[in-house]
Every structure is written in C-alpha cells, then in structure tokens.
A = this chain, B = another copy of it.
C-alpha cells in the first residue's frame, strides 16, 4: 500500500486543478448571475459554459470519466484515465457545481455514454454517442417512476410494446435529470417489453429522441427549493411514443442487466464530487471563521468552532481515502469485487458533505442560508444524493449482509478447524 500520488496521478489532478483556478472559479459569477434571472431566461445555457467546454476540449481535458476498456475503438474512447485518476480530477470538479460539464463529465450523460460505448450498435454510436462525446448534445435517463419504489429496478412499469418495426412506449417517469436542458436531445428509457418473462428479463432500454411525438414534460421538480436550472429534474409522460426497433439497446429483456451495470456498484462519480464539494465548504468555513468577529473575538478563536473545523477535516480525510480505495479496487479488479467499498462510500460521501456544509452554513449565519455563498444549493444537492444514489438504508443493508456472510464463513471455518478468534 502506498499513500503517495504517482507523477501521472498528480499530473492529471493538477491539470484539472489549474483549469479550475484559471477558468472555472472566474466563471462562477457569470454562471450564478445567469441562474438568478427570472423566468425562461434561466433555462437557457449561459454562454460561459460553452466557452469553458471549448477551452477544456482544446486542452485535452475531455471525457475524463471513461476509463480505458475493451470497448474502446479508434473513434470512441475516453481520455485514458483510470477510475482512481478520475477520482482525483472529479474531486476538483466537485468544488463548483457546473464544472464537470466543462470537461464533458457530467451526469447523466456520463452514464448514458458508458451504456452506448459498451452496448451500442455502430449506428447508435454514430448517431448518439458521437455528439454526446463531442459535447454537442445532452441526454437524460428515464427510469424512476412516481408510483413504485424505484430502488428495485424490477418494479418499473412503463410499457414498451412492439408493433411491427416500432416500439410503442407508454408510462410516467420522474426525476429525469437534465431534461430541462435545451440541448437535451436523447432519452434512454427503461420499461417492460415482456411482463410475462422471468423477473429480471422483463425490462428493456430503448433510445428515444426527445422530440418524438408523445414525450411530454409535465413539470420540473425542485430539490429542497432548487429547480436546478438550466438542467433540472423532470416529470415526463410518455403517450404512445413510437421509435424504430433499431433503437433497442442490446436486445429485448436486457434492460435490467444494463441498469445493474449503470446504477449498480460501479457509479461513484457523485461521491468523488461530493468530496470536492465538502472541501470547498471547509475552505469557505475557514475563511469565514477567520474573518467574522462576534462577542469581541474571531469565530476561529472560539473553541466550539475549532472543534467543528477539526471534525470536518477528519471526516473529509477519511471519506476521501475510502473513495480512492473504492476507485482503486474498481481499477484493479472490478465493480463486483469492490461492491462493499462502493456501498460504503455511497453512504459516507453525502453524509460527510452534508455535515460539513451544514456547519459552514451555520458559520456564515443568515448569509449561509441564501445563495450568496453557494452553500445552500450544495446542501440540497447532497441531501438528494442520500436518496438518488440509492437510499442509505439500502447500502447499509448490503454492507451488513456481506458482513454477516463473512461471520457465517468464519463460523463454519471455526467449526471445521476449531481454531480462530471465535
């Protein structure tokens, strides 16, 4: 084991860090000024985003999220970073809410690109993966439904029925992230092609251009009061939406399998960024504590704040180590071998970020509640993660079941050999 970063690891992190320093932090004012507009204007993309993208593309800081794999081809490959290397970069991006998009590394496009990269036909890749990897369009993923517990993908009810050369899709989806983005051109829709099939073979995933007739965004959903413009989370009704059969991904009945790969153990990008968000918050907190005078002395000289600051640093450090370990295991083995670490970091990362941000808000007083310091929106985003990335309770249960299996194995071993710590 070795806790020092290699030159390559440092190099990637520092390139992203420098880009953040030189370009992204400077763009925060423009972005937030745009976002504070009234009405429809705020659902347009602020020009600064496309400027940042152009610059990052030019510097080769692009599609960093896609690790080298057997699916790589001449035309379709990421920047060549391992999960670990990406974790370092993603933490930097996580310091600013909109930064990951500058590097073409933002959800849910990343997941959609991975699906297309892995399972797409050459035609599907040409039509959709190309513009996604080029940052020319954006996309959404229509999975969660209001009426069923979506933590279990087998519950999904939307119907995908074949009629001749087309699929006809009917259903209601919500929390479809990114669908408010004017550049959003594609949805991957999960639904049932065969309700009679074996439970894990009923679902399929199909590509639906957003301009297909019958796709209606009913409303945009707020998260603790934040609508997330200009991307947002939509509630979407699909009424007799028709797409050619060629839009099926991987084949009928493979939807659950694809979802597992996507939503299952492998996805810790949110966690990586949560650590960056916590780092930014601890920075702001420290600066505020140094600057603010109350009852005749700096907040930073009051021991209650020293304790909270110390706790925050401790929490972040431990969480980062766990995140990096999970990424490293994914690189060295696979998502399945890393499933305990993945479950753990999905609990730890948002929790740590929430705790740190909450203290940072308190340190800022009323100003922390408004959007002047950007803390409130981060709080909302992190609170959402505790549900969106799988509820804490489900992850903790998975960890416990693995732990209990080990106990059983230990017990069996002890019965067999009579030795050990039992």
Contact = CB atoms under 8 A, between A and B. Distances in A.
A26 B414 CA distance: 12
Secondary structure type dominating chain A contacts: helix
A134 interface: no
Contacts of A259: none
Contacts of A410: 283, 287
A136 interface: no
Interface of A: 1-6, 9, 20-22, 25-26, 38-39, 84, 95-96, 144, 146, 149-152, 174-175, 221-227, 280, 282-283, 286-287, 289-290, 292-295, 300, 302-307, 309-311, 313-314, 317-319, 321-322, 324-325, 328-329, 332, 340-341, 343-344, 347-348, 361-362, 365-371, 376-377, 379-380, 383-384, 386-388, 391-393, 395-401, 403-404, 406-408, 410-411, 419-422
A35 to B, nearest CB: 12
23 contacts: A1-B5, A1-B324, A2-B328, A3-B325, A4-B328, A149-B293, A152-B295, A223-B370, A224-B376, A225-B371, A282-B403, A287-B422, A290-B404, A290-B411, A304-B304, A307-B396, A309-B400, A310-B396, A310-B403, A313-B399, A314-B396, A362-B391, A368-B387
Copies of this chain per assembly: 4
A146 B366 CA distance: 9
A122 to B, nearest CB: 36
A150 B150 CA distance: 40
B294 A149 contact: yes
A300 B404 contact: yes
A334 to B, nearest CB: 14
Given A149-B292, A306-B304, A399-B309, A370 B2 contact: no
B397 A225 contact: no
